[in-house]
Chain A
């Protein structure tokens, strides 16, 4: 009898449960089941060449962790995530501050800036490959025309420069995303406080240091965490620009998973790398969720 009250109508709790069920079902079908299935697959020798598979225990984990190049991949991923997050964050912040001045045409500029973010990652990858191409790239053409170089530079053919090029392309893509978030944050900083600080004699730098940064600390944190998670998952730009080369210099975990699964056909081993990758993602996600909870 406790099930129905109010003349057979559902209670608030029951209604709540009913409303949650469709979302929960979708979550289980689309996220939870594939996730658990992938973890289970990491303990098998599942291959794209054979639909049958058998349990291999920790073999895949031993193989992955005993591969000397795996830790290089993790390191490359960390470098990519750190720089591909901090560079567009910094530039996005500067650009947001400029646009926040509200000068004539700032809204138009804000719209134009968002174009980078709308373009698909693969198109951006090809665009920047063309810019950095060592034979017919426009950057080489420009440097040559300015008399800065005598011979073309193989930007994507050298390990260090290839990684820098990939980070630049990703930063270019994500700059508007950071800008949009940070602009929103800037507009949320109380004008009264800034005006009060100015009356007290604070210069621009001091206003930024003592009013703007503390006022935006939370959004800085969330944007950085979300950006880092996005970069940790990112695949299309490095793949289209370098396919992880040269000599694995731009191979991140996402590329390693793709290559192991769809080039080497080893789904079980790819799931192992994916599980390690998910653990790394989980660390960021936990920090993010903690912050969201605190801000609530």
Chain B
């Protein structure tokens, strides 16, 4: 028994010494200028972007001597995992966020003001003011733009051509006719893959509400949902009744069906290209099967509506290695890296130097998204702390109406009541 105890004690002592040694070695590494930073996000987990994210990390590690440890989740889980990690006090230095996740994380007060890290001058020198504005909250630059464009509608030119449309429909009336023609092809193609499930359904509904002339919220934050909201919901119902849209379609389903040539229109950001390329389409040929278009308007001459979309990099205030994180962010934004990301995945670069290269300016695929960006608006929940809750309410009430449980009028009234309680 004593022998066993002695062995156990020696083992414990050895482990303690090993742990202390490891700690010293880590400190030594920090003292010698080489640091290990944690980079979090979701794209490094996705098939279409896993390789390029790996190359970004290794490229930076080779150049700087620092180590970048990737911590990733699915896009849907990223916000909650970042919050949990932050509350748990785990190391987080830099993260990839989209506009929605950015806002949620910013509300915790955990983000560093990048004006202090990069310097205001450097930021203004490298980004357009409108681009920088997306990452600003209360005068602080909390997000560093990484890739930015708009979520607009994409279409398959080949399907439209088969349906007799050489031009994209520009008004809702034309859009409905185009969908009718596509349905009449009898090829089982879903004319429009507007999202009818999960949070993306709320994101897709908003630009249609704007198209019909209303918003979810007024500028002062109170609920708006004017009479046009009822028209919008009734229009959705009509599209569903005619079989132009379907229940149980989310962004992921739409991407998959679109890539298979089984869907004519859906709403997406530039990363639609990555999906098409993953499905085997030559990057140079993507525009033949996946092109951006302006969202049809209610009356000719109206402004086409789209939602601002973008990925940002954020640096955490609690990070001990803010300088290394900033250095890594600069590497990711460098022309070579940003242009490779653009070439492989269609992610438009945002720095003045990369965005104005011939390669980007002449890209036929990107043009439609960039055109839409000029008038794109932020998702109405983008600056709300309970964005997900708001979206859930919108989606649940929309689904109830589409399923015939409530009328469009009841839908809007229920949304109003629940949103008023939630804000």
Q: Do A and B bind each other?
A: yes
Q: Chain A residues in contact with chain B, CB under 8 A?
A: 48-51, 133-136, 151, 154, 156-159, 243, 245-248, 259, 262-265
The verdict on B357 contacting chain A, using a C-beta distance below 8 Å, is: no
Report chain A residues within 8 Å CB of B389: 263-264
Once A248-B396, A263-B388, A263-B389 are accepted as A-B contacts, the answer to whether A49 and B246 lie under 8 Å apart by CB is: no
Binds A, one of B15-23, B141-149, B173-181, B397-405: B397-405
Q: Chain B residues in contact with chain A, CB under 8 A?
A: 80, 83-84, 87, 104, 107-108, 190, 196-198, 243, 246-249, 253, 256-257, 260, 262, 385-386, 388-389, 392, 395-396, 399-400, 403, 405
Contact B87 A51 (CB under 8 A): yes
Contact B403 A158 (CB under 8 A): yes
Contact A49 B197 (CB under 8 A): no
Please give the distance in Å from A166's CB to the nearest CB on chain B: 13
Contact B248 A134 (CB under 8 A): yes
In the complex, what distance in Å separates the CA atom of A135 from the CA atom of B197? 14
Once A135-B190, A263-B392 are accepted as A-B contacts, the answer to whether A247 and B108 lie under 8 Å apart by CB is: no
- Cβ 8 A contact of A134, one of B80, B198, B246: B246
- Cβ 8 A contact of A247, one of B243, B246, B249, B405: B405
Contact A157 B83 (CB under 8 A): no
Contact B248 A247 (CB under 8 A): no
Contact A135 B262 (CB under 8 A): yes
Please give the distance in Å from B266's CB to the nearest CB on chain A: 12
Report chain B residues within 8 Å CB of A157: 196-197, 246-248
In the complex, what distance in Å separates the CA atom of A262 from the CA atom of B84? 9
Report chain B residues within 8 Å CB of A245: 197-198, 395-396, 399
Please give the distance in Å from B92's CB to the nearest CB on chain A: 15
Please give the distance in Å from A155's CB to the nearest CB on chain B: 8
Once A51-B87, A159-B403, A246-B399 are accepted as A-B contacts, the answer to whether A135 and B80 lie under 8 Å apart by CB is: no
**In the complex, which residue of chain B has the Cβ closest to the Cβ of A48?**
B83
**In the complex, which residue of chain B has the Cβ closest to the Cβ of A245?**
B197
In the complex, what distance in Å separates the CA atom of A157 from the CA atom of B402? 10
In the complex, what distance in Å separates the CA atom of A245 from the CA atom of B248? 9
Please give the distance in Å from A116's CB to the nearest CB on chain B: 25
Q: A48-B84, A136-B262, A247-B396 are in contact. List 16 more A-B contacts (CB 8 A).
A: A48-B83, A48-B87, A49-B104, A135-B190, A136-B260, A154-B248, A156-B248, A157-B196, A157-B248, A243-B197, A243-B198, A245-B399, A246-B248, A263-B388, A265-B80, A265-B388
Report chain A residues within 8 Å CB of B196: 157, 246
Report chain B residues within 8 Å CB of A243: 197-198
- Cβ 8 A contact of A49, one of B190, B253, B385, B403: B385
Please give the distance in Å from A141's CB to the nearest CB on chain B: 11
Contact A154 B405 (CB under 8 A): no
Could you pull out 16 A-B pairs where Cβ atoms are within 8 angstroms? A50-B108, A135-B248, A136-B262, A154-B248, A156-B248, A157-B196, A243-B197, A245-B197, A246-B196, A246-B247, A247-B400, A247-B405, A263-B388, A264-B386, A264-B389, A265-B83
- Cβ 8 A contact of A264, one of B253, B392, B396: B392
**In the complex, which residue of chain A has the Cβ closest to the Cβ of B422?**
A264
Please give the distance in Å from B42's CB to the nearest CB on chain A: 15
